[in-house]
Amino acid sequence: MKIGIVGLGHMGKALVKGFIPHQVDIVGKATTQEKAKSISEELQIEVFSNDGDFLKTNPDIVILSTPAKIVIDVLKTLKNNGLPDETIILSSAGGISFEQLHEVASENPVACFMPNTPVAIGAGTISFAENSSLNIENITVIKNQLSKLGDVITISENQLNIAGTIGGCAPAFIDVLMDAMEDAGVHEGLDRKTAHKLIASVVKGSGLLALDSDKNFSELKGQVTSPGGSTIKGVLSLEKDNFRNAVINAVLASNGN
């Protein structure tokens, strides 16, 4: 299985880093020779600046990881340069629909997915939308490859934007939370390195517990907030400071509302 990644910015590089430990054959496409050379040296993969040279490697899957505003033009150029009809095309750009991809590459299996940056360490959250251009074999191949990067959550296409917003933006929101908790820990006497490890471990463990549990978040919170205890006092302080509304508003703002 060979995967070609077009667009090697932050997300494209994260995808490459996530695939490499699984011995996936990766090739990349950059916009200039200088960038191709630099990224090739950084990631230790073949990177091309020319569409023809990139396509000569015959990737089974092409992932379009370019900014949304140029995805369709990039796909048109690839098709004009001979991208085969059997190649699976995946777009990771927000706001790009299956219909837009299908209009340009009507004979190809095409799909949209939304990863987040933890794919770089195989801990990503990947929203994937199935559609009528994909047969069972295509879906199996796509999910098998994406699952190497983290959790694959199948959703309908009309849910892709909000799923992508939560999956893609939440790492930054959680970083803000962890940064604030780290500062509080330092204020109370922890050294910053210890606070960092402690908080990152707490977030990791809480996420794993939630994934493994059939309880909702409110119920999980209830298991920690004993009557009259320190945790419920902290939770009520969060409520007093409108923490919940701040989080909801951040998600809505990121989703364009």
Per-residue pLDDT of 74-121, as tens digits, reads 999 999 999 999 999 999 998 889 999 999 999 999 999 999 999 999
Report the predicted TM-score, pTM, of the whole model to 2 decimal places.
0.86
- Residue 162 is predicted with a pLDDT of 93
For 205-228, how does the pLDDT look when each residue is reduced to its tens digit (9 = 90+)? 999 999 999 999 999 999 999 999
Q: Is the pLDDT of residue 40 over 90?
A: yes
Contact 178, 199 (CB under 8 A): yes
Q: What is the CATH number of domain 164-254?
A: 1.10.3730.10
Domain ranges of the chain: 2-155, 164-254
For 41-83, how does the pLDDT look when each residue is reduced to its tens digit (9 = 90+)? 999 999 999 999 999 999 999 999 999 999 999 999 999 999 9
> What would be the CATH architecture of the domain defined by 2-155?
3-Layer(aba) Sandwich (3.40)
User: Does 117 or 257 have the greater pLDDT score?
Assistant: 117
Cα distances (angstroms) measured from residue 83 to each of 74, 97, 174, 200 = 11, 20, 39, 43
Q: Tell me which DSSP letter residue 46 carries.
A: E
